[in-house]
Amino acid sequence: MDVADLTLDELRLALAPGIADAAVFDGWSDAALEMAADQLGADRDVARLAFKDEGAMGMICAWIETIDRQMVLDLPPEKLAGMKIRERIRALVQYRLDAVAGQEESLRRALAIMAMPQNAPRALKTGWNSADVMWRLAGDTATDYNHYTKRAILASIYGATLTVFIADESDGKADTAAFLERRIDGVMKFEKAKAKWFGPERETFSVTRFLGRLRYPAR
């Protein structure tokens, strides 16, 4: 498809990988946006319009969305079905790490921008969305409180792993792989303990009832 025929939303995603490449040197800036536009053959003014009033955070979120979308194509549920759940999660997180390999400086700058107070709400939403995509690809169908706890935990693991990843100078990013393995191991132990505590043989867990008992202990 001709670049000129892309909608602004489509252009945002088409530009995002090039912006990430340029951000290694120029940061998440207009200069990076213009370089990406030139490489794509897009009009610079139209490229700016695609990110109108969004600034660096808009470029970063578009980059993350492209990774989410490509992950869905490359690791569909049926491709992961033969793996144990911990292997699925490891494969999904590793996929995302591989997707940004060589762009550590862009990632470092992106994380710094996302950590700014004014960007925190959007950063949290973006992290949650990525965690949701990963869990859905892993085959999760939970609709109770587990739906939320799983995504919150995975978003935390992924964020912590990225922090290790950008500073990892070990051969083949071995330190990052070891860190991720330890975090996943911890989550699996937690899930086993939770399943035992809130298993089907026990009374159905109610958050409201639990909080009520904390406030008004049984006599």
CB-CB contact of 47 with 34 (8 Å): yes
pLDDT of amino acid 189: 76
pLDDT of residue 143: 81
pLDDT tens, position by position, 171-182: 999 999 999 999
> Tell me, what DSSP letter sits at residue 203?
P
Q: Which helix (H) or strand (E) holds 72?
A: helix 55-74
Give φ, ψ of 81 to 5 degrees: -55, -35
Residue spans of the domains in the chain: they are: 1-53, 75-215
Q: Can you tell me which residue has the tokens 């550590």?
A: 104
Please report the DSSP string for 36-62 in residue order: HHHHHT--HHHHHHHTTTTHHHHHHHH
Selected from 1.10.10, 1.10.287, 1.10.1760, 1.10.357, the CATH number assigned to the domain covering 75-215 reads 1.10.357
Instruction: Please write the tens of the pLDDT for every residue from 151-205.
Output: 999 999 999 999 999 999 999 999 999 999 999 988 777 666 666 665 555 544 4
Asked if 34 and 44 touch (Cβ cutoff 8 Å), the reply is yes
Q: Could you give the CA distance from residue 212 to residue 189 in angstroms, rounded to a whole number?
A: 28
> How many Cβ atoms from other residues are within 10 Å of residue 44's Cβ?
14
**pLDDT tens digits for 42-75?**
999 999 999 998 999 999 999 999 999 999 999 9
What was the pLDDT predicted at 198? 59
